[in-house]
Amino acid sequence: MRHLLSTADLARDEAESILDLAEEMKKVQSRRVKKLPALRGRTIVNLFFEDSTRTRSSFEIAGKWLSADVINVSAKGSSVSKGESLRDTVLTLSAMGIDAMVIRHPASGAPAQAAGWTNACVVNAGDGTHEHPTQALLDAFTLRRHFRAATGDPEADWSGRTVAIVGDVTHSRVARSNVLLLETLGAEVVLVAPPTLMPSGVGTWSCRTSNDLDAVLPEVDAVMMLRVQRERMHGGYFPTPREYTVGYGLTRDRLALLPEHAAILHPGPMNRGLEISADAADAATSRVLDQVAAGVAIRMSVLYHLLGGDEKIDATSLIGTKGQTA
């Protein structure tokens, strides 16, 4: 794997390899000393042109726990604020001999362009309304753990599972990456949104679509509520916030429509009271905090797959057998 720009680039065995190694990386979080020597001597730059808390922090932690040297660069405070182009920024950093670049950018396709300008590995940390592949991987990781815990089957996966992705699909890079990845892994995905928030051309996607949330909820094994991205909206996508909640919010009343085993996910940050109620966000089957915790493990796995060498990954030798050593 040279870059991670889209979940469409991942075959099923590659995606499962990332998830399997993340299971081992997750064990590092419970250690007293949270360090592995796996990427010692490697340099990773987190290049963020958009604000972020979860993604940026988890990439930074992931790199440091793998013993890489991690540098954070944001648009504000860098030469970008003086008018430097993305291309010149990428070329400048590449000339310094870095090994990987994690890029978040408001323009769709920016990380893919950057990959053509550098010899470093490039990870897409979210580009415009296009994709967010590591978010989809951590969502899949969270769901697989949920399915295995719910069934007691350590080999349970997505086969025969239905996942609903609900809300502002038009502006959601998370939705696009999840549709591609979950279907690659064997799940059925149904997108639920008002017609105004269904993206143009969605009819060509391989997933199902619906405008009726109440009809879909009883049949799902998981529901992912998307944030209403009001900062990207220029026009009237729905009459009022109240009407959106009535039609497409995961309210207290709608919780009763979900099967008891169904997981509730949200990529965050949540607009409580708009797309998700406090009752749903804090429900027993809510896996929102599990998603946050999974972010570090998944990004450790991705970085290791990109920078750890071409040899077959041996998780036992990489992680070690003693829980408190590093």
Q: Which residues are annotated as a binding site?
A: 54-55, 82, 104, 132, 135, 173, 227, 268-269
The full 3-state SS of the chain, as one line of letters, equals: CCCECCHHHCCHHHHHHHHHHHHHHHHHHHCCCCCCCCCCCCEEEEEECCCCCHHHHHHHHHHHHCCCEEEEEECCCCHHHHCCCHHHHHHHHHHCCCCEEEEEECCCCHHHHHHCCCCCEEEEEEECCCECHHHHHHHHHHHHHHHHHHHCCCCCCCCCCEEEEECCCCCCHHHHHHHHHHHHHCCEEEEECCHHHCCCCHHHCCCEEECCHHHHHHHCCEEEECCCCHHHCCCCCCCCHHHHHHHHCECHHHHCCCCCCCEEECCCCCCECCCECHHHHCCCCECHHHHHHHHHHHHHHHHHHHHCCCCCCCHHHHHCCCCCCC
Annotated binding residues for carbamoyl phosphate, written as ranges, equal 54-55, 104, 132, 135, 268-269
Annotated binding residues for L-aspartate, written as ranges, equal 82, 173, 227
Q: How far is C-alpha 326 from the chain's CA centre?
A: 27
